[in-house]
Structure 1
Amino acid sequence: MHDLVSCMHELRFGRSPATMALVPHGGGAGGSATMAMPMLTADNYTVWAIKAQAILDVHTVWEAVAPGDAAVNARKDKMVCALLLGALPEDVLLQVSAKLTAREVWDSLKVRFVGADRVRAASLGTLRGEFDRMKMADGEELDVYGGRLAAMAARYANLGETLDDAALVKKLLDTVPDRLFPVVAGIKQFHDVTTMAFDEALGRLRAFDERVRRRGQDGGGRGGEQLLMTAAQWAARESTRRCSGRRRRAQRGVGERRQQAQALLQVRGARALPGTQQRGICVYRV
């Protein structure tokens, strides 16, 4: 318990346990700064870890948790230990109070909420299945769905895996509704989706979706019409077009033959040449 008491002396009493006054290492013209550490709960570890790391990093004490090859500054280590302990619920605090360093406290929390390697592998498999099943729901806003995909990347990172932009872009383009298919086809045809940033793909889809919505609200032109045909629709259309063409050509040929016969019969002064009416053939001479 001596280590716990030593760490807790770094807190400024009289404040909420989640709000502490930090003094940057080495002093500084700005003096002390007040920064709120989020409280850890049973289901917010991913978000809590991101916020906690940002707060520790802005005060240049994150190196106490991830020192690399450098030696850990003792004052920074105590500062981080105090901040972490002050953001823990009582049951978790009692479990990590025997840890000697801030690195040990952080790793203990990670093992508790993320799990050991075996649990991590199982969690990662569950997460992959959840990612594979993701799709944009009916009526869901594009920004909301993009946020769900980005959150999935953060969950992957928390398990030590990387969900890169290529996987996110592919998932985004493959699971958006049919109304966005024209722009999806354009992106895949004219851009390299393996190197495209996720934010860029989301921005292109958002711009197209906004134009379609605006045209629909204005009642303009072909906003609600079908832009592309299925293979069956295209084949039926071509078959109808060919049949219509044949009928028009047949009707034109009949009309031409009728006109020729009428012109031949109306020739004035025509008479049959003698000896030529053979085998149903009649030759006229003007």
Structure 2
Amino acid sequence: MASNSSVQPSIPRSNGHYDHWMTDRSTLETILCKDTSKDIWDSMKKKFWGSIRARRQQLQALRSEFELHRMQSGETISDFFSRMMVIISKMRTFGEKLEDVVIVEKILCSLTPKFNYMVCSIEESKDIDFLSIDELQGSLLVHEIKLQQQDNAELALKVSSDHLVKGNGGRRSNGHNDKS
């Protein structure tokens, strides 16, 4: 009785991780002939990495979003940086090589006018070429906190002033006793 047992080579499976397949290409080539493995490889690359044209289109849309990105009025530094970093992360995923200096410059020119003197101060006191994104965010957060404290102090002073005016029946006191 002849046994018909043949061993078939195991072809690696992707599980959706294209990077893993990148390292296993040589394994695939040894299992299959070169032409067949190239066809399979190209098919997998297109399926899991997307066509080059589609990637370019997505990257172009992200570049446009990056260029148009501005801080909104009333938005916090943390929220602005979060939105900016999401765009940057997506761009880097699609192969864009963004230097920190480009990002720092973009952030500085995208802030609302209330940060103008802080931007000037940073540009004058620091070398933008070597300023990290985290360092910039920290400086801007400190400035934002100071602005909020100043706004709160001004609001408290206004409320206190309004309370004094209302306490005199709507008349402002001139500092003298008004007895009529």
CA contact under 8 A between 1:153 and 1:162: conserved in structure 2? no
Structure 1 spans left out of the alignment, 5+ residues: 8-36, 38-48, 54-61, 73-99, 221-286
Percent of paired sites with the same residue: 19
Tell me the residue number matched to 2:49.
110
Alignment of 1:143 with 2:78, yes or no, is yes
Structure 2 spans left out of the alignment, 5+ residues: 1-7, 29-39, 156-180
Tell me the residue number matched to 1:32.
none
Matching residue's letter, 2:59? L
The one of the two structures with greater contact order (alpha-carbon pairs below 8 A, sep at least 6) is 2
Alignment of 1:202 with 2:137, yes or no, is yes
Q: Which has the higher helix share?
A: 2
Displacement over 4 Å in runs of 4+: 68-72, 104-107
Tell me the residue number matched to 1:120.
55
Tell me the residue number matched to 1:280.
none
CA 1:175–1:218 in structure 2 vs 1: closer, same or farther (change >3 Å)?
Answer: same
Tell me the residue number matched to 1:155.
90
Alignment of 1:133 with 2:68, yes or no, is yes
Per-residue CA deviations over 1:122-166 (Å, capped at 9, x if unaligned) read: 222222111111101111121111011111111111211122211
Output the aligned Cα RMSD.
3.7
TM-score for both structures, normalised by structure 1:
0.40
Tell me the residue number matched to 1:193.
128
What is the Cα deviation at residue 198 of structure 1? 0.9
Tell me the residue number matched to 2:108.
173
Alignment of 1:164 with 2:99, yes or no, is yes
CA 1:157–1:68 in structure 2 vs 1: closer, same or farther (change >3 Å)?
Answer: farther
Matching of residues 74-93 of structure 1 within 5 Å:
none
Tell me the residue number matched to 2:36.
none
TM-score for both structures, normalised by structure 2:
0.62
Q: Which has the higher strand share?
A: 1
Q: Output the CA distance in 1 between the equivalents of 2:118 and 2:107.
A: 12
Matching of residues 1-286 of structure 1 within 5 Å:
64-67=20-23, 108-111=47-50, 116-219=51-154
- In the comparison of the two structures, how many residue pairs are matched? 138
CA contact under 8 A between 1:142 and 1:206: conserved in structure 2? yes
What is the Cα deviation at residue 69 of structure 1? 9.5
